[in-house]
Amino acid sequence: MFKRIVVVCAVLAAFSGIAMAAEHKHGEEAGMSEHMAHVMGQGAQSDFTLMQIMHDLSFQLNRIQFGILTNNRLMVEQGATAITSHPAPKGGLKPYLKKNVDDIKSMAPVIDQDVHKAAVELAHDAKTATMLDLQEKTNSITKACISCHEMFRN
């Protein structure tokens, strides 16, 4: 189960890495942001593998959770910010996709947008929202991670 969460978070992290910079631009495929076209293709610039990125994303999600549990708002903010700015894996996602390629290509932009939006809101609200509200936003990130992992591994 933990491995599933790690892989989902990594895929989501890979999807949301450059989303802020390319939020309103369109890439090569219709309906796909420039960020997503970059991540899905071979052009992503990073020395990190998908597994390394997923491990870091899992760490950041755990960091957020620990911050919520210990009332450490700075920890919540830093974990959420790290999720919004993670790198894409070396070579993009294409080398890692073995099955469900069409499903992943169609759903990745939606999942990416959901995770990125929740992480941005979480970072923004970390100083003022209740811990329960922060937990709800964290849950939405976790649910998106899990749905992507299921699609990726199914």
Q: Enumerate domains of the chain plus CATH numbers.
A: 2-153 (1.20.120)
What region, left, alpha or beta, does residue 114 occupy, with left being phi > 0 and alpha being psi -120 to 50 degrees? alpha
Average pLDDT for 81-89: 87
**In the chain, % of residues over pLDDT 70:** 71
Mean pLDDT lowest for which of 19-33, 83-97, 139-153?
A: 19-33
pLDDT digits (tens, 9 = 90+) for 26-35: 333 334 454 4
Q: Which whole number is the average pLDDT over 48-77? A: 94
* Confidence label for 25 from pLDDT (cuts 50, 70 and 90): very low
Q: What pTM did the predictor assign?
A: 0.69
Question: Would the pLDDT of 19 be above 90?
Answer: no
Q: What percent of the chain has pLDDT over 90?
A: 38
Q: Which residue in 103, 106, 116, 99 sits closest to 14, CA to CA? A: 116
In whole angstroms, what is the distance from residue 146 CA to residue 122 CA?
18
Question: Average pLDDT in the 90-95 region?
Answer: 80
The residue with greater pLDDT, 132 or 86, is 132
| Between 18 and 93, the higher pLDDT residue | 93
Enter the tokens of residue 40. 């899905």
Handedness of CA 43, 48, 52, 58 (dihedral sign): negative
What pLDDT was estimated at residue 2?
52
CA angle 64, 75, 123 (to 5 degrees): 70
Q: What pLDDT score does 87 carry?
A: 82
Whole-number average pLDDT of the chain: 77
